Structure formats: C-alpha cells, structure tokens
Chains A and B, each alone.
Chain A
Amino acid sequence: MPTIVVEVMPKAELLDPQGKAIAGALARTGRGEFQVRQGKRFELTVPGDELTQELLDQITEIAADVLSNSVIENVVGVHVVAGHGVQPEA
C-alpha cells in the first residue's frame, strides 16, 4: 500500500505564532536560540500495490484545494513513501 506524504507550511512572509512560541520555550529552557516554524505532515495511504500518475495528480490537487489554504499556507512537498513492510525509497 503506497503512502503519499503531503507537507504544508505557513507562508514564509506570515507570522507563525506557534513556531514563535516553540522558539520562545527553547530559549527559555536554555536549549538554544532558534527560528522555528511549524507546519503539517499528512500521510495518505491508498489501497492496492500500484500508484498511478493519475492518483498522484489527484492527491496533488487535494493538497492544494483541501489540505492547504493557499491564502495562508504553501504545499512544500508531495512525495511517495513505501507502504507497510517495505523499505522506504531512497
């Protein structure tokens, strides 16, 4: 069962209050000074063995239309990882 990973990040030019809060906590606890931005990772697993280009196109569309909101976010990655019990592709 192939799994497609979709990664979404808040737009770079927008304030990311969650990332800012994490960076603040890291600094407060002496773990270092970082810039942190928080995004989302979605895993879409499809039945069957084969991943067609058509399905990949469909998922790319879903990533743009549903999993992200283009006003506030960017889809930064759509990639295929192997299914259960299979070594991930390099």
Chain B
Amino acid sequence: MARIGVITFPGSLDERDAQRAIRIAGAEPVALWHGSRDLQGVDALVLPGGFSYGDYLRAGAIAAQAPVMAEVVAAANAGMPVLGICNGFQMLVEAQLLPGGLIRNDHGTFIRRDQALTVENTDTAWTHEFVRGQEIVIPIKNGEGGYIADAETLTTLEGEGRIVFRYAQLNPNGSLNDIAGITNERGNVVGLMPHPEHAVEPGFGPDTRVRMRSGIDGLKFFTSAIAALQAV
C-alpha cells in the first residue's frame, strides 16, 4: 500500500483531514513532523492547510525554513509527488519549489465558500484522473490566496500548461489569470489554495445539485497520486 506523508507544522489545521482523505482514497497516511528530517520512507507528501507560525513574517515563510523542508525540497527535486494545500501552497512558493507568490485577498477579507475550479492540466501526479476542462467544486478558505507573479512567469506558466486549476464562475481573491493552482516543470509538485481534502466523503463535502454536502471532487487528487505511485 502506498504511504503518503502529511507534515504537521506548529499552527497546521488540516493535517488530520488530509490523513483521512489519504485513507479514504486507499493509501496509508503517515504523520510527519516539521522538526524532524526523517520522511520515514513515504512515497508522496502533502503539506496541509492552516496557519503555520501564525502566518508571522509572511504566510508559509517560517515553515519554509523548517528542518523538514530541506528534505521536502530534495524529495520534490527527485520526483516525489508533493501536494501543497492552502498554507502548504504558500510554503511551496516560499521554498521556491513553485514560482510566484500569494498575497492578501484583494478585497481584504477572509473567504470561505464552495468554489468551482476548472482542471486545466491532467498530466500531473495529482490530477491525471480528471478530464481536461472538467469543472469541480471543493471548499476554499483563506485570507491570503491572491496568486501573483511577474509577467514573464505568467507567460511561462501559461505557455507550458502549468496552470493546473483556474477559478471558474468567479475569482474569489483577485488571483492573476484566475489562477487557483500551479505545478512545477516536472508535474510532480502541485500547489493550490482550495482544499481537496475537505471533499472526499459523502456527507462532509460541498453541496451538489443532487444532495447537500455530497461533493467528493477532492478524492481524485489522492487516487491520482496513488495510481501514479503504483504505475512507477
């Protein structure tokens, strides 16, 4: 069985939801700790959401300096699937595993809603079970989710198809080009602001047309990664 590590930082909030999502998807979640350099031989990594170090300095900035992050960078560069969710995405840009940055939402307020996204890249470890152009709905909840990058970086991301998710229907935070999530050149590292781990089990996900809280669009992130690991 694939083993997927979830790293807890001081101030992480969603690590248990991420572990639960991994279990429901059919892999073994492994709890990892920011202060230890030991990745315990996991096959993939999830950096969960929350407010590591209270968002002090900049969101994700202090977590990016944590002892475990040197190992995360090395593993990511060696091709290990790495998913950064919300605060985890902020850590990935602060650790320069992904380009650009995340700033305070343009309207200045915290948002939480069920958010429609278009899946634009289905070649990554975390998205290959989706259909290109598919619209999915998963929750979003953040105060600093505005994606920004300079014009050159945006052109590169667009040209190389590295925008994995775009906000559909409405842009909740002023992100440039409606960017909700991106990947690295290799396609093994994916970061996004919305939360797939909160949409994996009927009864606990976003509302759908069929039934309240029945949305499980987030599950495919994790089953994609598990299938990618088995294919290796």
Contacts and interface: CB of A to CB of B under 8 A. Distances in A.
A4 interface: no
Interface in A66-82: 66-67, 69, 71-72
Interface in B78-124: 93-94, 99-101, 103-108
Interface string B15-26: 000000000000
Interface in A1-47: 10, 14-15, 17-18, 20-21
Interface string B115-155: 00000000000000000000000000000001011100000
Chain B, interface size category, equals 20 to 34
A21 B101 CA distance: 21
A21 B93 CA distance: 26
B210 interface: no
B74 interface: no
B101 A71 contact: yes
A72 to B, nearest CB: 4
Contacts, number: 36
Contact of A14 (B61, B99, B107, B148): B148
B174 interface: yes
Contacts of B1: none
A14 B103 contact: yes
Contacts of A72: 58, 101, 103, 148
Interface in B28-76: 57-58, 61, 65
A67 B56 CA distance: 11
A15 B108 CA distance: 10
Interface centre among A18, A20, A21, A72 (most CB of B within 10 A): A72
A82 to B, nearest CB: 26
Interface centre among B107, B108, B150 (most CB of A within 10 A): B108
Interface of A: 10, 14-15, 17-18, 20-21, 66-67, 69, 71-72
Given A18-B108, A71-B101, A72-B148, 9 more contacts: A14-B148, A17-B103, A17-B104, A17-B106, A17-B108, A18-B104, A21-B108, A69-B94, A71-B149
5 smallest beta-carbon distances between A and B, as pairs: A71-B101, A17-B108, A72-B101, A17-B104, A21-B108
